[in-house]
Structure 1
């Protein structure tokens, strides 16, 4: 499978999150403790947002920038370009993903995160029996959106199905309908438990994260404790004095063993991190 992290909060250098923690995502690319595979060396990707545009006329909100995405097929632990970028890019919202292929080719277009307009998407898990149902799922993608698909993974297919089913208007409902469509299609081919997913998706302002599997035995997913609580627990950590109370990390596995820092996302749940605060809700597939 894969490992990923999503950060939202005070602008920080990517290096602060990707390399500096004791069990950073780069360390996990070689020494994952909770993944299906210990090594995740089949490519990597980072995606980040720059500052928003200037306010529009008549007080309208600024338009969100399109995220920058850098992906490569080699392992993250030895990539000099990733190291260089991480020490110079500062962002308030970014994704990072290290890949362990579940059968599709190791190529740039199959590396996460995936981007469409201002939206980014990344996934850990698999669609069981994907090779059998791939054609049926592809025919369900909006024909205009289908032209933008570049790779061959189940993850990218899930993204474009969610876009087709209304991701830009209502992300939780669109992901629920996408999941329902995949499960219905898989079971028509005799696949008992088609879906295994932890997914992160963002429009550059709000971040959604989902944990679900058809077998109710999902891959691991954690979120960071509130920063004000962490400050009280660990007043000696200078980093915590530099970030806002609204800063959050969502990760496939904890970046260290700091007591009280990490909380497991419950099974069949999605969370929302945004300007209005944090929320967590039950998640269930819906009919497409």
Structure 2
């Protein structure tokens, strides 16, 4: 469906992972061997928090409907952005049209959200799920994707207070409504959401066959594994990545997130929590 990455750590020039890595996100937009679709050419997006931003700062976003590998603005922008936390996403459209408002990441206040996957048979459940969004949030739904509806359901269920509980409630609602409409496996995908300080990365599907998701090992360990790899020098000791698929050819740098798991990344590193839908 799509490919995405999330970075957190010392301020990093975005081009290091969007362009320059062996299997960068832009490279994955054209050739994604672990993806459901090899080519992800239906739009690109990046959202970032400026260096030195205080808690609660509003992130900047850029969206383009051009294929990432063919968009000069993507290259110019990624070489200019230096940020301690950024999201980026390349899209393979699965029904909703190719338009800027359908590109990820989505933004609400100080939050960013992106998704790889789908809500199965979305046409059957779209009305019920859209009407379940808090009325005050409804005007902020500007696109037509199932992902944006899912994001606003999570906000409705209290994302700002308890992201894990809100994601659980949103997925439960998707599964409940889907099964009421005869959809066998309503939810599929990986999700990343951040408030600008912590990243929550979810791997879950109703069928138990979720899209791939990985996160990096800590940089000091990676340097011990590959002391001669000069390309690692641009990353600080707290640099961390969450990715749809690994960005390089160095074995062992990325750890697969288990099925039905939410990986939580903060300044102390990662910890995993089991993710279960109550539906």
Which category describes the TM-score, using the shorter chain as reference length? over 0.9
Kept in 1: contact 2:51–2:82 (CA 8 A): no
Counterpart of 1:188 in structure 2 is 180
Counterpart of 2:42 in structure 1 is 42
Q: What CA deviation, in whole Å up to 9, does each residue of 1:178-231 have, x standing for no partner?
A: 000000000000001000010000000111100000000000111111111110
Q: What aligned pairs does 1:210-249 form with structure 2 within 5 A after superposition?
A: 210-249=202-241
Counterpart of 2:122 in structure 1 is 130
Kept in 2: contact 1:71–1:111 (CA 8 A): yes
Kept in 2: contact 1:52–1:64 (CA 8 A): no
Q: What aligned pairs does 1:38-117 form with structure 2 within 5 A after superposition?
A: 38-53=38-53, 62-117=54-109
Counterpart of 2:19 in structure 1 is 19
Secondary structure of the residue that 2:112 maps to in structure 1?
A: strand
Structure 2 residues not aligned, in runs of 5+: none
Counterpart of 2:154 in structure 1 is 162
Secondary structure of the residue that 1:143 maps to in structure 2?
A: coil
In the alignment, the residues of structure 2 paired with residue 156 and residue 40 of structure 1 have an alpha-carbon distance, to the nearest angstrom, of: 18
Counterpart of 2:141 in structure 1 is 149
In the alignment, the residues of structure 2 paired with residue 152 and residue 213 of structure 1 have an alpha-carbon distance, to the nearest angstrom, of: 21
Q: TM-score, normalised by structure 2?
A: 0.97
In the alignment, the residues of structure 1 paired with residue 268 and residue 162 of structure 2 have an alpha-carbon distance, to the nearest angstrom, of: 16
In the alignment of these two chains, the number of paired residues is 279
Q: Which moved more, 1:203-212 or 1:233-242?
A: 233-242
Structure 1 residues not aligned, in runs of 5+: 54-61
Counterpart of 1:253 in structure 2 is 245
Counterpart of 1:59 in structure 2 is none
Counterpart of 1:209 in structure 2 is 201
Counterpart of 1:31 in structure 2 is 31
In the alignment, the residues of structure 1 paired with residue 55 and residue 212 of structure 2 have an alpha-carbon distance, to the nearest angstrom, of: 34
Kept in 1: contact 2:55–2:196 (CA 8 A): no
Q: Which moved more, 1:159-168 or 1:272-281?
A: 272-281
Kept in 1: contact 2:188–2:205 (CA 8 A): yes
Kept in 2: contact 1:52–1:63 (CA 8 A): no
In the alignment, the residues of structure 2 paired with residue 96 and residue 286 of structure 1 have an alpha-carbon distance, to the nearest angstrom, of: 30
